[in-house]
Chain A
Amino acid sequence: MDQFAVKVFVRLRPSVLDPAGEATKSASIKLGAEGIKSLRIGKIIEVKIEGNGENEVREKIDLLCDRLFANTVIEDYEYSLEKL
């Protein structure tokens, strides 16, 4: 069995308003940061997982992302995978 470290990034889809991102953008400007064109907040989910090779692990992670980690009505996801 191989072990992998997976980082899943979940983001609101570009078409979905991100009020928390807007509020943080507004605070960033108040702090004096210049040039911020857009600020959006997402989530990172870190998973350590075992499996027989990368393909099998990718299948498991795809299922998790699609069915649980992200709601694909409003969110997109992508992930990186590193063999430990």
Chain B
Amino acid sequence: MDNFTVGVVVFPGSNCDRDVSWALEGCLDIRTKYLWHESSDLSDVDAIVLPGGFSYGDYLRCGAIARFSPLINALDDFVKSGRRVLGICNGFQILTESGFLPGALTTNKNLNFICDDVELVIVSSKGGWFNDGVEKQTIKLPIAHGEGRYHCDSDTLKKLVDNELISLRYKNNPNGSSFDIAGITNEKGNVLGLMPHPERACDKTIGGTDGLFTLKSLILK
């Protein structure tokens, strides 16, 4: 895995790109490369992270404008090739807006921007993004969002449940998400979107290491 490189996408308004890069490089010794949103050449990266922030100022809706960037247009082939894509917070919003994941994320039920550590239940091991729920069934990760309420219709929810696509559920739902959903994968399992920030939980001196496993799993084939 010496040459394994994770591309960290930078949109105008991304603000967790450096956190993701530091966590991967500093805590896990995984090489990273920043990818400007106008680049569509993804040939030299092996996995991609869409980090948190406020891409394009979150104008219109969170993630709505980012969807039209050259990089997101190139993501379809990347995902089809089986390589892994992790969307964190605003990255999750972009993945739903662009149709890589079902549903949508909208305003928190209580209208507050919520910045807190939350307990999460690992529901599915699809894609191997979490420690399979056997060794540890709950994890604690930080959230920081105003628009993290996951919404989908009942048919989509049934599909998510039946196909084990729900990765994480909030133990104490902070934002009104349907079915307490905090993170989901696509059917193949190589795309994960989640509202909590694993990159902010990679060192015990700053609040825990429960995010390490998810970032490390980017190198899984």
Q: Total interface residues on A, using CB and 8 Å?
A: 12
Q: Which of A20-51 contact B (CB under 8 A)?
A: 20, 23
Partner of A23, one of B102, B111, B151: B111
Interchain CB contact under 8 A, B111 and A16: no
Whether B17 sits at the interface, judged by CB under 8 Å, is no
Whether A1 sits at the interface, judged by CB under 8 Å, is no
Interchain CB contact under 8 A, B60 and A73: no
Partner of B152, one of A19, A23, A68, A73: A73
Binding site for B on A (CB under 8 A): 12, 15-17, 19-20, 23, 68-69, 71, 73-74
Query: Could you write out 27 A-B pairs with CB less than 8 Å apart?
Result: A15-B153, A16-B106, A17-B109, A17-B149, A17-B176, A19-B107, A19-B108, A19-B110, A19-B111, A19-B176, A20-B107, A20-B111, A23-B111, A68-B60, A68-B68, A71-B61, A71-B64, A71-B97, A71-B104, A73-B102, A73-B103, A73-B104, A73-B151, A73-B152, A73-B153, A74-B104, A74-B151
Q: A17-B149, A68-B64 are in contact. List 8 more A-B contacts (CB 8 A).
A: A15-B153, A19-B108, A19-B111, A20-B107, A69-B60, A74-B104, A74-B106, A74-B151
